[in-house]
Structure 1
Amino acid sequence: MNPLPPLRSLQVFEVVGHSRSLAEAARRLGISSGAISQQLKLLETTLDANLTVKDGRQVRLTAAGQRFHGACTTAFELLREAQAELERARNDANLSISALPSVLTAWLAPLVFDWQDRYHPTLNIQFKASHAEPDSDVEDIDFRITYDTTRPNRQNTIELFTDCVVPVCSPALLRPNAALNQPADILRYPLLATDWRPKFASPPAWADWFAACGVDARKALAAHPIRRTFSLSHMTIESALAGQGFALVQASMVYADVMAGRLLIPFKRALPLPRPYVLKWHPDTFHKPQCRAFHRWLVVRGKHQAELNAQLLA
């Protein structure tokens, strides 16, 4: 295997690819334009490839240069992330949380902000939104909040609560000539759907909800097909808030909006999700006092959310 090019040459090339000119790259790196040119020449000689071409005072990447630059950018981003994780690990006042994107955006983050402000104002919290489960050997993640799909290993895992989906809409969506007297009347309005596949099985759908209400779902949806589908629950909620249709979404994620009057639930018929949300943690997490405090708080908050959901639908 050929030796790798000098790291400095790679760094210069990566910055040049993100700059409009050699002069701009030189300013960003704090070196001269001549030094930039020398490093680019060294890199091209080492790789025996033409990566750049001069265009007046600018330097453009060749087709080969663009491909190589993409790989360089990815590599440097990984290095920067690794450095950031090392710095966080050295700081005892850190808490790192990974969660499903919609759970984080629409439910968890606002609650954590309040907990932080009240009890841990000097704590540094890092949120990572991801459908993928974090690799504990690579990522410095203290806690993971996810949807419990398989329950293969209950070690270092505790159930938070089982959510349910409810129909919601913005009050601004409703029309005087399209009153909501029975569940089938929702079909007079656009329907917003959420499809989690392929990562997870999707939550109960409109067909399930209408069937539970005694409506012939197949006939109803054939006459009123769903034409607006989102891959993330919080996107569906945002569309509902904008008055773009009825959404069938998690009660926990719309609780605050319903209480504030931004959304309403016309029919309090809820369908539970097949699995609960769970909290997972790294085996070494409880060595840090802020992690023990967060764990105690979130477990209680999960139970409280189940009670709030029940009150919302009472």
Structure 2
Amino acid sequence: MSDFVVPVCAPSLLDGQEIKTAKDLLKFPLIQHTTWPLLWKNWFTDLGIETAKDTSGPKFEFHSHAIGAASSGIGIALMSDLVVQREIDSGDLIIPFGGRTKFEDGYFFVYPPKMKNGVNAQTFGFWLQQQCASFLATNPLHLGSS
């Protein structure tokens, strides 16, 4: 299943400032995830923006910490829309700029080759595909994606 990343922040962080382009996000601290240190740089590049500014900012190892920092107004986090959907729905986080890009990684169901024809692996794989399809069909951030 493909995944997409979006910039998210607390509504209070913008304090009336209008974000017209992705480049406007460079005015704010950019929250980093230590697992993907080039995520912001790659996101800007995907949108056709070369940044001279160092895109480093507060660094967090866990998604929950990055989400908490963004929700607290510390900066803007670039997160999987799958991970922050609940916070967006509740209004704790907003997407200040609609630059949603496909994440280089995805989600995969992996199992040992010897289980390929096993009924448990096949049943679980089928169920997992149904869950993903149902989610993609109903998730507002993923509508029209594959």
Q: TM-score range by the shorter chain?
A: 0.7 to 0.9
Q: Out of 149, 173, 192, which is 2:31 matched to?
A: 192
Distance 1:164 1:272 in 2: 4
Q: Does 1:215 align with 2:49?
A: yes
1:1-314 matched pairs, under 5 angstroms: 161-176=1-16, 178-196=17-35, 202=36, 205-217=39-51, 219=52, 221-222=53-54, 225-281=55-111, 283=115, 286=120, 292=123, 295-307=125-137, 308=139, 309-311=141-143
Give how far 1:249 is off: 0.8
**Which is helix-richer, 1 or 2?**
1
Return the TM-score normalized by structure 1: 0.39
Separation in structure 2 between the aligned mates of residue 182 and residue 249 of structure 1, nearest angstrom: 18
Contact 1:252–1:305 (CA under 8 A) maintained in structure 2 = no
Classify the secondary structure of the residue corresponding to 1:264: coil
- Structure with the bigger RCO (C-alpha within 8 Å, sep 6+) is 2
SS of equivalent to 1:274:
strand
User: Which residues of structure 1 form unaligned runs of 5+?
Assistant: 1-160, 197-201
TM-superposition CA deviations, 1:248-299 (whole Å, max 9, x none) = 0101001121122221112222222223211235747829xxx94x654432
CA RMSD of aligned residues (A): 2.8
Mapped partners of 1:297, 1:204: distance in 2: 34
1:268 alignment partner AA: G
Q: Deviations over 1:90-142 (max 9, x none)?
A: xxxxxxxxxxxxxxxxxxxxxxxxxxxxxxxxxxxxxxxxxxxxxxxxxxxxx
One-letter amino acid matched to 1:192: I
Q: For structure 2, list consecutive stretches of 5 or more residues without a partner in the other structure.
A: none
CA distance in 1, matches of 2:5, 2:75: 16
Give 4+ residue runs of structure 1 displaced > 6 Å after superposition.
none
